[in-house]
Protein backbone atom coordinates (compact mmCIF):
# COMPACT_ATOMS: atom_id res chain seq x y z
CA UNK A 1 0.00 0.00 0.00
CA UNK A 2 1.33 3.50 -0.84
CA UNK A 3 2.06 5.92 1.95
CA UNK A 4 -0.97 7.99 2.84
CA UNK A 5 -3.45 5.46 1.45
CA UNK A 6 -6.29 4.82 3.86
CA UNK A 7 -6.64 1.31 5.26
CA UNK A 8 -10.00 -0.02 4.22
CA UNK A 9 -11.43 -2.71 6.45
CA UNK A 10 -13.37 -5.17 4.34
CA UNK A 11 -16.78 -6.23 5.57
CA UNK A 12 -16.66 -10.00 6.01
CA UNK A 13 -19.84 -11.36 4.50
CA UNK A 14 -21.35 -14.81 5.00
CA UNK A 15 -20.48 -16.92 2.00
CA UNK A 16 -23.61 -19.07 2.19
CA UNK A 17 -27.08 -17.61 1.82
CA UNK A 18 -30.34 -19.54 2.02
CA UNK A 19 -32.62 -16.93 0.47
CA UNK A 20 -36.02 -18.67 0.75
CA UNK A 21 -38.60 -19.30 -0.22
CA UNK A 22 -40.42 -18.39 2.94
CA UNK A 23 -42.44 -21.41 4.21
CA UNK A 24 -40.57 -23.91 2.05
CA UNK A 25 -38.52 -25.74 4.69
CA UNK A 26 -35.77 -23.14 5.22
CA UNK A 27 -35.71 -23.62 9.03
CA UNK A 28 -35.15 -27.38 8.70
CA UNK A 29 -32.23 -26.86 6.28
CA UNK A 30 -30.74 -24.03 8.34
CA UNK A 31 -30.92 -26.06 11.58
CA UNK A 32 -29.10 -28.94 9.87
CA UNK A 33 -26.36 -26.65 8.55
CA UNK A 34 -25.89 -25.01 11.94
CA UNK A 35 -26.14 -28.18 14.05
CA UNK A 36 -24.11 -30.57 11.87
CA UNK A 37 -22.42 -28.59 9.08
CA UNK A 38 -19.95 -26.53 11.09
CA UNK A 39 -21.63 -23.32 9.94
CA UNK A 40 -22.13 -20.58 12.48
CA UNK A 41 -25.35 -18.82 13.29
CA UNK A 42 -25.59 -15.07 12.87
CA UNK A 43 -24.85 -13.07 16.03
CA UNK A 44 -27.88 -11.54 17.68
CA UNK A 45 -27.37 -8.12 19.22
CA UNK A 46 -29.20 -6.46 22.13
CA UNK A 47 -32.78 -5.62 21.28
CA UNK A 48 -32.96 -7.98 18.30
CA UNK A 49 -35.41 -10.91 18.32
CA UNK A 50 -33.96 -14.37 18.90
CA UNK A 51 -35.00 -15.64 15.45
CA UNK A 52 -32.30 -13.35 14.00
CA UNK A 53 -29.92 -16.19 14.93
CA UNK A 54 -31.24 -17.91 11.78
CA UNK A 55 -32.32 -14.96 9.68
CA UNK A 56 -30.66 -11.56 9.83
CA UNK A 57 -33.35 -9.59 7.94
CA UNK A 58 -30.79 -7.20 6.56
CA UNK A 59 -31.81 -7.02 2.92
CA UNK A 60 -35.58 -6.92 3.46
CA UNK A 61 -35.76 -4.32 6.25
CA UNK A 62 -34.99 -0.87 4.88
CA UNK A 63 -33.58 0.70 8.03
CA UNK A 64 -31.21 -2.25 8.53
CA UNK A 65 -30.11 -2.31 4.90
CA UNK A 66 -29.32 1.42 5.04
CA UNK A 67 -26.67 0.68 7.67
CA UNK A 68 -24.46 -0.91 5.03
CA UNK A 69 -22.19 -3.94 4.59
CA UNK A 70 -20.21 -3.43 7.83
CA UNK A 71 -23.40 -3.65 9.88
CA UNK A 72 -24.28 -6.89 8.08
CA UNK A 73 -20.77 -8.33 8.32
CA UNK A 74 -20.65 -7.73 12.09
CA UNK A 75 -23.43 -10.25 12.45
CA UNK A 76 -21.07 -13.02 11.32
CA UNK A 77 -17.88 -14.22 12.97
CA UNK A 78 -16.33 -15.18 9.66
CA UNK A 79 -17.06 -16.53 6.23
CA UNK A 80 -18.52 -19.75 7.73
CA UNK A 81 -21.66 -17.93 8.72
CA UNK A 82 -24.96 -18.67 7.01
CA UNK A 83 -27.82 -16.21 6.67
CA UNK A 84 -31.09 -18.07 6.13
CA UNK A 85 -33.48 -15.12 5.83
CA UNK A 86 -36.28 -16.47 3.63
CA UNK A 87 -37.39 -12.95 2.66
CA UNK A 88 -34.10 -12.36 0.81
CA UNK A 89 -35.56 -14.04 -2.30
CA UNK A 90 -37.09 -10.71 -3.32
CA UNK A 91 -33.90 -8.67 -2.90
CA UNK A 92 -31.40 -9.92 -5.47
CA UNK A 93 -30.24 -6.44 -6.39
CA UNK A 94 -29.57 -5.42 -2.80
CA UNK A 95 -27.56 -8.61 -2.18
CA UNK A 96 -25.55 -8.00 -5.34
CA UNK A 97 -24.83 -4.36 -4.50
CA UNK A 98 -23.95 -5.13 -0.90
CA UNK A 99 -21.54 -7.96 -1.73
CA UNK A 100 -19.92 -5.81 -4.40
CA UNK A 101 -19.51 -2.92 -1.97
CA UNK A 102 -18.15 -5.26 0.70
CA UNK A 103 -15.07 -5.81 -1.41
CA UNK A 104 -12.72 -8.62 -2.30
CA UNK A 105 -14.20 -11.26 -4.52
CA UNK A 106 -17.04 -12.07 -2.10
CA UNK A 107 -19.62 -11.31 -4.79
CA UNK A 108 -18.17 -14.15 -6.88
CA UNK A 109 -17.69 -16.52 -3.93
CA UNK A 110 -21.06 -16.40 -2.24
CA UNK A 111 -23.11 -19.59 -2.61
CA UNK A 112 -26.83 -19.05 -2.77
CA UNK A 113 -29.49 -21.69 -2.13
CA UNK A 114 -33.21 -21.43 -2.71
CA UNK A 115 -35.91 -24.04 -2.11
CA UNK A 116 -39.20 -23.81 -3.98
CA UNK A 117 -42.56 -25.14 -2.85
CA UNK A 118 -45.83 -25.43 -4.74
CA UNK A 119 -46.97 -21.80 -4.29
CA UNK A 120 -50.58 -22.40 -3.19
CA UNK A 121 -49.49 -24.74 -0.40
CA UNK A 122 -46.75 -22.25 0.44
CA UNK A 123 -49.45 -19.58 0.79
CA UNK A 124 -51.48 -21.90 3.03
CA UNK A 125 -48.40 -22.50 5.19
CA UNK A 126 -47.95 -18.72 5.45
CA UNK A 127 -51.60 -18.37 6.54
CA UNK A 128 -51.19 -21.10 9.15
CA UNK A 129 -48.04 -19.46 10.49
CA UNK A 130 -49.71 -16.05 10.85
CA UNK A 131 -52.86 -17.56 12.38
CA UNK A 132 -50.78 -19.65 14.80
CA UNK A 133 -48.86 -16.57 15.97
CA UNK A 134 -52.03 -14.53 16.42
CA UNK A 135 -53.50 -17.33 18.52
CA UNK A 136 -50.50 -18.04 20.69
CA UNK A 137 -48.08 -15.09 20.79
CA UNK A 138 -48.55 -12.46 23.50
CA UNK A 139 -50.07 -9.31 22.00
CA UNK A 140 -46.87 -7.37 22.73
CA UNK A 141 -44.86 -9.69 20.47
CA UNK A 142 -47.16 -9.55 17.47
CA UNK A 143 -46.33 -7.32 14.54
CA UNK A 144 -48.28 -6.05 11.55
CA UNK A 145 -46.83 -9.01 9.63
CA UNK A 146 -48.73 -11.48 11.79
CA UNK A 147 -51.79 -9.24 12.01
CA UNK A 148 -52.35 -9.44 8.24
CA UNK A 149 -54.46 -12.46 9.09
CA UNK A 150 -56.88 -10.52 11.34
CA UNK A 151 -60.14 -9.06 10.06
CA UNK A 152 -61.54 -5.65 11.05
CA UNK A 153 -62.97 -7.13 14.26
CA UNK A 154 -59.58 -8.60 15.23
CA UNK A 155 -60.69 -12.17 14.48
CA UNK A 156 -58.58 -14.64 12.54
CA UNK A 157 -59.79 -14.85 8.94
CA UNK A 158 -60.56 -18.12 7.21
CA UNK A 159 -58.02 -19.14 4.55
CA UNK A 160 -60.60 -18.28 1.87
CA UNK A 161 -60.91 -14.74 3.23
CA UNK A 162 -57.13 -14.46 3.57
CA UNK A 163 -56.72 -15.39 -0.08
CA UNK A 164 -59.33 -12.84 -1.18
CA UNK A 165 -58.29 -10.01 1.12
CA UNK A 166 -54.52 -10.48 1.50
CA UNK A 167 -53.02 -12.86 -1.07
CA UNK A 168 -54.73 -11.58 -4.23
CA UNK A 169 -54.15 -7.86 -3.53
CA UNK A 170 -50.57 -8.70 -2.49
CA UNK A 171 -49.93 -10.58 -5.72
CA UNK A 172 -51.32 -7.71 -7.76
CA UNK A 173 -49.09 -4.97 -6.32
CA UNK A 174 -45.44 -4.21 -5.72
CA UNK A 175 -45.99 -2.25 -2.51
CA UNK A 176 -44.53 -3.45 0.75
CA UNK A 177 -47.76 -4.85 2.16
CA UNK A 178 -48.57 -8.21 0.69
CA UNK A 179 -44.92 -8.95 0.05
CA UNK A 180 -45.18 -12.29 1.81
CA UNK A 181 -47.65 -13.49 -0.82
CA UNK A 182 -45.33 -12.47 -3.64
CA UNK A 183 -42.73 -15.06 -2.64
CA UNK A 184 -44.66 -17.50 -4.78
CA UNK A 185 -43.88 -15.55 -7.98
CA UNK A 186 -40.69 -17.53 -8.30
CA UNK A 187 -39.83 -16.87 -11.94
CA UNK A 188 -39.83 -13.10 -11.48
CA UNK A 189 -37.50 -13.31 -8.48
CA UNK A 190 -35.13 -15.93 -9.85
CA UNK A 191 -34.81 -14.11 -13.14
CA UNK A 192 -33.15 -11.25 -11.23
CA UNK A 193 -30.79 -13.57 -9.36
CA UNK A 194 -29.79 -15.26 -12.60
CA UNK A 195 -29.01 -11.88 -14.18
CA UNK A 196 -26.91 -10.64 -11.29
CA UNK A 197 -25.01 -13.75 -10.21
CA UNK A 198 -23.31 -16.54 -12.08
CA UNK A 199 -25.79 -19.40 -12.32
CA UNK A 200 -23.19 -21.80 -10.88
CA UNK A 201 -23.47 -19.85 -7.60
CA UNK A 202 -27.17 -20.62 -7.20
CA UNK A 203 -28.59 -24.01 -6.19
CA UNK A 204 -32.33 -24.39 -6.76
CA UNK A 205 -33.90 -27.07 -4.57
CA UNK A 206 -37.34 -28.63 -4.52
CA UNK A 207 -39.57 -28.83 -1.43
CA UNK A 208 -41.11 -31.95 -2.93
CA UNK A 209 -37.71 -33.60 -2.76
CA UNK A 210 -37.33 -32.45 0.85
CA UNK A 211 -40.59 -34.25 1.60
CA UNK A 212 -40.06 -37.38 -0.46
CA UNK A 213 -36.32 -37.94 -0.51
CA UNK A 214 -34.58 -35.68 2.01
CA UNK A 215 -31.31 -37.62 1.75
CA UNK A 216 -31.03 -36.79 -1.91
CA UNK A 217 -31.65 -33.13 -1.18
CA UNK A 218 -28.99 -33.25 1.53
CA UNK A 219 -26.50 -34.72 -0.93
CA UNK A 220 -27.10 -31.92 -3.39
CA UNK A 221 -26.46 -29.35 -0.65
CA UNK A 222 -23.28 -31.11 0.50
CA UNK A 223 -21.89 -31.20 -3.02
CA UNK A 224 -22.79 -27.58 -3.59
CA UNK A 225 -21.18 -26.44 -0.36
CA UNK A 226 -18.23 -28.79 -0.77
CA UNK A 227 -18.46 -30.33 2.65
CA UNK A 228 -19.79 -33.49 4.21
CA UNK A 229 -22.58 -32.84 6.62
CA UNK A 230 -23.83 -35.72 8.78
CA UNK A 231 -27.23 -35.95 10.45
CA UNK A 232 -30.82 -35.80 9.29
CA UNK A 233 -33.12 -33.02 8.29
CA UNK A 234 -35.65 -32.67 11.07
CA UNK A 235 -39.08 -31.14 10.78
CA UNK A 236 -39.01 -27.53 11.91
CA UNK A 237 -41.41 -24.63 12.15
CA UNK A 238 -44.54 -26.61 11.35
CA UNK A 239 -46.82 -24.62 13.70
CA UNK A 240 -48.98 -27.69 14.29
CA UNK A 241 -52.17 -27.08 16.23
CA UNK A 242 -55.82 -28.13 16.12
CA UNK A 243 -56.83 -25.17 13.97
CA UNK A 244 -54.19 -25.77 11.29
CA UNK A 245 -55.79 -25.78 7.83
CA UNK A 246 -54.34 -28.78 6.00
CA UNK A 247 -55.75 -28.28 2.51
CA UNK A 248 -57.03 -25.26 0.57
CA UNK A 249 -60.76 -25.20 -0.21
CA UNK A 250 -61.97 -25.48 -3.82
CA UNK A 251 -62.76 -21.78 -3.70
CA UNK A 252 -59.26 -20.78 -2.54
CA UNK A 253 -57.70 -23.06 -5.13
CA UNK A 254 -59.81 -21.58 -7.90
CA UNK A 255 -58.76 -18.06 -6.89
CA UNK A 256 -55.04 -18.83 -6.89
CA UNK A 257 -54.61 -21.43 -9.57
CA UNK A 258 -54.81 -19.08 -12.56
CA UNK A 259 -52.14 -16.77 -11.19
CA UNK A 260 -49.71 -19.46 -10.14
CA UNK A 261 -50.18 -21.88 -13.02
CA UNK A 262 -48.80 -19.41 -15.54
CA UNK A 263 -46.08 -18.28 -13.11
CA UNK A 264 -45.02 -21.90 -12.60
CA UNK A 265 -44.78 -22.41 -16.35
CA UNK A 266 -42.49 -19.37 -16.53
CA UNK A 267 -40.38 -20.89 -13.75
CA UNK A 268 -39.94 -24.24 -15.53
CA UNK A 269 -38.95 -22.41 -18.73
CA UNK A 270 -36.51 -20.17 -16.87
CA UNK A 271 -34.82 -23.13 -15.18
CA UNK A 272 -34.63 -25.03 -18.44
CA UNK A 273 -33.00 -22.05 -20.17
CA UNK A 274 -30.56 -21.44 -17.32
CA UNK A 275 -28.99 -24.72 -16.21
CA UNK A 276 -27.61 -24.65 -12.69
CA UNK A 277 -24.62 -26.28 -11.05
CA UNK A 278 -24.09 -29.97 -11.83
CA UNK A 279 -25.66 -31.28 -8.60
CA UNK A 280 -28.95 -29.46 -9.21
CA UNK A 281 -31.99 -31.56 -10.08
CA UNK A 282 -32.66 -31.31 -13.83
CA UNK A 283 -35.28 -31.00 -15.05
CA UNK A 284 -36.79 -29.31 -12.02
CA UNK A 285 -39.63 -31.40 -10.58
CA UNK A 286 -42.87 -29.78 -11.71
CA UNK A 287 -45.06 -28.98 -8.69
CA UNK A 288 -47.82 -31.49 -7.99
CA UNK A 289 -51.24 -29.86 -8.23
CA UNK A 290 -52.66 -29.36 -4.72
CA UNK A 291 -55.91 -31.17 -3.96
CA UNK A 292 -58.85 -29.35 -2.46
CA UNK A 293 -60.17 -29.99 1.03
CA UNK A 294 -63.62 -29.05 2.34
N1 LIG B 1 -38.16 -31.84 7.18
C2 LIG B 1 -39.23 -31.29 6.61
N3 LIG B 1 -39.86 -31.92 5.59
C4 LIG B 1 -40.94 -31.38 5.00
N5 LIG B 1 -41.49 -30.20 5.39
C6 LIG B 1 -40.91 -29.53 6.40
C7 LIG B 1 -39.76 -30.04 7.05
N8 LIG B 1 -39.43 -29.15 8.02
C9 LIG B 1 -40.32 -28.16 7.95
N10 LIG B 1 -41.21 -28.37 6.99
C11 LIG B 1 -42.36 -27.52 6.62
O12 LIG B 1 -41.88 -26.30 6.05
C13 LIG B 1 -42.74 -25.20 6.45
C14 LIG B 1 -41.93 -24.18 7.22
O15 LIG B 1 -41.04 -23.59 6.32
P16 LIG B 1 -39.92 -22.57 6.78
O17 LIG B 1 -39.11 -23.13 7.86
O18 LIG B 1 -39.21 -22.15 5.56
O19 LIG B 1 -40.79 -21.35 7.34
S20 LIG B 1 -40.24 -19.86 7.61
O21 LIG B 1 -40.27 -19.17 6.33
O22 LIG B 1 -38.90 -19.94 8.16
O23 LIG B 1 -41.23 -19.29 8.56
C24 LIG B 1 -43.83 -25.84 7.30
O25 LIG B 1 -44.88 -26.21 6.40
P26 LIG B 1 -46.43 -26.37 6.84
O27 LIG B 1 -46.47 -27.48 7.85
O28 LIG B 1 -47.16 -26.70 5.59
O29 LIG B 1 -46.82 -25.05 7.44
C30 LIG B 1 -43.12 -27.06 7.86
O31 LIG B 1 -44.00 -28.07 8.33
Residue 263 CA to residue 171 CA, distance in Å, equals 11
The answer to whether position 286 is within a domain reads: no
- The complex's ipTM works out to 0.99
Pocket residues for ligand 1 (CB within 6 Å)?
A: 22-28, 86, 125, 128-129, 210-211, 233, 235-239
User: What number of CA atoms fall less than 13 Å from residue 11's CA on the CB side?
Assistant: 18
Quote the number of domains for the chain: 1
The answer to whether position 166 is within a domain reads: yes
DSSP-assigned states of every residue in 145-211: HHHTTB-TTSPBPPHHHHIIIIIHHHHT--SSTTGGGGGG-HHHHHHHHHHHS-GGGEEEEEHHHHH
23, 54, 100, 223: which is the annotated catalytic residue?
Answer: 23
Structural domain boundaries, residue 225:
16-273
- pTM of the shown model: 0.96
Residue 9's pLDDT band, with cuts at 50, 70 and 90, is low
**Which atom belonging to ligand 1 lies closest to the Cα atom of 30?**
17
The answer to whether position 219 is within a domain reads: yes
The answer to whether position 10 is within a domain reads: no
Mean pLDDT over 44-64 rounds to 95
The answer to whether position 6 is within a domain reads: no
The question of whether 23 is a catalytic residue gets the answer: yes
Residue 265 CA to residue 288 CA, distance in Å, equals 13
Question: Residue 71: which CATH number?
Answer: 3.40.50.300
pLDDT tens digits for range 235-263: 998 888 889 999 999 999 999 999 999 99
The answer to whether position 288 is within a domain reads: no
Residue 219 CA to residue 226 CA, distance in Å, equals 10
> Residue 38: is its pLDDT beyond 80?
yes
The answer to whether position 287 is within a domain reads: no
pLDDT tens digits for range 119-174: 999 999 999 999 999 999 999 889 999 999 999 999 999 999 999 999 999 999 87
* Confidence at residue 2, expressed as pLDDT on a 0 to 100 scale: 45
pLDDT tens digits for range 70-117: 999 999 987 799 999 999 999 999 999 999 999 899 999 999 999 999
The answer to whether position 239 is within a domain reads: yes
> Residue 26: is its pLDDT beyond 70?
yes
Amino acid sequence: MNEGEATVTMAQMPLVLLIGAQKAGTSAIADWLFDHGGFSRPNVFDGEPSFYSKEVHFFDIDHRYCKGPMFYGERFDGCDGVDATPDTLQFAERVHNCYKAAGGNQMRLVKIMVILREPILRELSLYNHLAHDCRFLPLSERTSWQEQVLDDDGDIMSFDDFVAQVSLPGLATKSDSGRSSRHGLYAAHLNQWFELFDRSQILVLSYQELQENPRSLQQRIQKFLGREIPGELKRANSNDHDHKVRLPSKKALALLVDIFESENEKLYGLLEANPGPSMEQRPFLRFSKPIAGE
